Amino acid sequence: MAGMSLQNKVAIITGASRGIGEAIAMACAKEGADVGLLARSEADLEAVAEGARAHGVKALPLVTDVSDEAQVQSAMAQIKATWGRIDVLVNCAGIGVFAPIAETSTDDWDRVMAVNARGPFLVCREAVPLLTRDGQACIVNIASVVGVKGYVHQGAYTASKHALMGLTKVLSQELQPEGIRVHALCPGGVDTDLVTKARPDLDTSVLMTPDEVARIAMFLIQQPGNAIIDQINVRRAVSSPWFS
């Protein structure tokens, strides 16, 4: 069965300036969706927007720190003014601090939780009124394998992704009566700046690519019919004590 068409749809992606977020944004644009791009780096956002426009769609770069309530509200106001609706929302913005719990500062803990847990909460809360009620709208939260497991030296990151999984489960229940799907995508090791920071010694050739994760995200976004997929866990082919 063919997937749902994204022609003339509106997809909003956070963390869209690089990595998985950029890959998902470009995949949506290739399928014909206009894209709203949220991230903190203006230069990187502009480059992604230009790439999206090459596919003949509208791209709106919005410099936004998703942990900042006022900035999220401003971004959503601009999205409302531009399109008046959202068909697809992908929460991909995320950061990591990697250290033993005993060496994790309160500031680092709070910063990770602010971006990885508070951020999706703010974005979802402000986006829900704009989501279409046509039975095709969806939210995809990019969590992590650490959203269902725990690894040493990843306490703050793991806690934040467990929080995101909890938010996803509750939001799925709340929005199902309105015909809005909510999914969690939990990849293991992906070749991104975040993983390189966490594991500079790792051979990146054994990691998944952002494009591979984006293809799975697109499967969720374009999923037709009545089957509901709550969560997809994806691991890399080569196992490891981290990110497997």
Q: Is 151 a catalytic residue?
A: no
DSSP per position, 222-236: T--SS----EEEE--
Tokens of residue 226, six digits: 């009545």
Tokens of residue 220, six digits: 């969720």
Strand ordering across the sheet containing 181-187: 59-63, 34-39, 10-14, 88-91, 138-142, 181-187, 231-234
DSSP per position, 189-218: SBSSHHHHHH-TTS-GGGSBPHHHHHHHHH
**Annotated catalytic residue: which of 98, 121, 151, 157?**
157
User: Is residue 36 classed as helix, strand or coil in its secondary structure?
Assistant: strand
Known catalytic residues are: 157
